[in-house]
Amino acid sequence: MTDNEVQRGLEDVIALESQICFIDGKKGRLLYRGYDIRDLAQYSTFEEVAYLLWNGRLPTADQREALRARLGELRTLPEPVMRIVSEMPQGGNAMDVLRTAVSALGAFTPAETGAASTSVASAERLTAILPAIIGQLHRARQGLPPVAPMTGGSHAAWILHAIRGTPATDLEIRSMDAALILHADHDLNASTFAARVTASTLSDIYSAITSAIGALKGPLHGGANERAMELLEEIGTLDRVEEVVRSKLAHHERIMGFGHRVYKVEDPRATIMREWSRRIGEAKGNLHYYELLRKEEQVVFAEKKLYPNVDLYSGSIYALLDIPKYLFTPIFAASRVSGWTAHVLEEYQDLRLIRPTSRYVGPTDVPYVSIEKRS
C-alpha cells in the first residue's frame, strides 16, 4: 500500500495500538488480553471476561464476586428511561429503542458524562443495565409487566430472566454465558471503531456507546444471525437444504453466517457455537436447527469454499432459549458493550482525535455563476 493509495473500508489500515483484542486470521485465533477465546469460553464466565477487558487481568475469586454484586446492584432502569422504552413505537426496530434508551440514560448519570470522570464504574453500569432495557422493550411489546431486577445470579441468568421472566436451567445459563463471552470483543469492528472515534473527541462514554449501537444497527454489521435463522425457516426440512442454498448461490444471493473479512479459516467462535448448538439441541430434544446448519455448511463449502462465522450458529442457540429473532442484535450489544467500553476507556488513556483524510476526486476551479444566470 502506497502513501496515496485509498483503502476502501479502511481494510488492512492500522489506525491505532491496542492491548485489548488480537485476531490471527490465518490461524483462526482470537485473544482477549492475551487469553485464547477457546480457554475463556470453556473455563471462564462473562463477568470474568468483562473484568479482564476493563482491567487487563483476570479477577481473583473475591474480585469476581464483587463485580457480580456490583452488576446486580446496577440493574434497575430509571423510571423515566423505562417510560421512554415502553412508549417507543411498537413493532419498530429494537435497536432504535436500545440506542435511544442508552442516550437518555446518560442524562440521568451526570457525574459520568464527562470523559475526565468516566471510569470502569460507567462500564459496569452500562453492562448491567442493557438487559433491563432489552427485557422492558420485549415485555412492553407483549403487553406484560416488567420483571423486577435480579439482585443475585450471573449476568447470563439476568439476561434470560429479563426477557423471559422465568428461571433458566444451568445449561441454558452456561450456553448464554458462552455466547456473551464469544461476542464480547472483536478488535476494531465498525461499532467499536465508532465508539472510539466518538471517545477521541473527549465526548462521554454514553455518547460513545450510543454511536456504537447506531453502527451495530446496520445490517452489514449486526443482524446476520437473524438472517441466518430466516433462511432456516425458509428451508424448513433437511431434504431442502441443498436445493435452496444452491439456488440462492446461483442467483448471487448472500448466505449469512459464512465468510469473514479477517478470518481466512474457520472463525474460532463458530467452532465453539456449533458445539453449543448441538448441546442445547440435545438437551431440549430438538436438533432440527443443528442438523440444517451442518448440512448448510457442507453445501456452502462445496460451492464457495467459505467457512462459517460466529453468526451461523448463534441464532439457533437463541431460538432454543426462546428468544425472539428481533432481540438477537440487542443481545449482541448486551455482550459487546463490555468490549466497547473497554476500548473507550483505552481511548481516554491515550487520547488523540481520530481524524483521517479523504482523497478529493471532485472538480476544481468551478467558476461561480450568479443565481440570475443559472439554468
Strands 21-24 and 35-36: unpaired
SS3 per residue for the chain: CCCCCCCHHHCCCCCCCCCCEEEECCCCEEEECCEEHHHHHHHCCHHHHHHHHHHCCCCCHHHHHHHHHHHHHCCCCCHHHHHHHHHCCCCCCHHHHHHHHHHHHHHCCHHHCCHHHCCHHHHHHHHHHHHHHHHHHHHHHCCCCCCCCCCCCCHHHHHHHHHHCCCCCHHHHHHHHHHHHHHCCCCCCHHHHHHHHHHHCCCCHHHHHHHHHHHHHCCCCCCHHHHHHHHHHHHCCHHHHHHHHHHHHHCCCCCCCECCCCCCCCCHHHHHHHHHHHHHHHHCCCCHHHHHHHHHHHHHHHHHCCCECHHHHHHHHHHHCCCCHHHHHHHHHHHHHHHHHHHHHHHHHCCCCCCCCCCCCCCCCCCCCCHHHCC
pTM of the model: 0.93
Known catalytic residue at 221: yes
pLDDT score of 117: 54
Q: Of the listed 185, 204, 267, 311, which one is catalytic?
A: 311
Chain mean position to CA 78: 24
* pLDDT for residue 140: 92
Q: In this predicted structure, what is the pLDDT of residue 13? A: 78
* pLDDT at 112 (0 to 100): 59
User: What are the C-alpha distances in Å from 161 to residues 80, 158, 221, 232?
Assistant: 22, 5, 27, 27
Say what the pLDDT of residue 3 is. 59
* 62 labelled catalytic: no
- Catalytic residue from among 36, 96, 187, 221: 221
All domains of the chain in start order, with CATH: 21-220+326-349 (1.10.580.10), 224-320 (1.10.230.10)
Instruction: Judge whether 311 counts as a catalytic residue.
Output: yes
State the pLDDT at residue 90.
83
Residues of the chain with pLDDT under 70: 1-3, 9, 110-118
So what's the pLDDT on residue 363? Answer: 95
All three cell numbers of 365, joined, read 476551479
Q: Which one from 138, 161, 186, 260 is the annotated catalytic residue? A: 260
Residue 319: partners with Cβ closer than 8 Å, 6 or more residues away: 229, 289, 325
Spatial CA neighbour of 271 closest among 138, 182, 155: 182
Query: What does the alpha-carbon distance between residue 349 and residue 344 come to, in Å, rounded to a whole number?
Result: 9
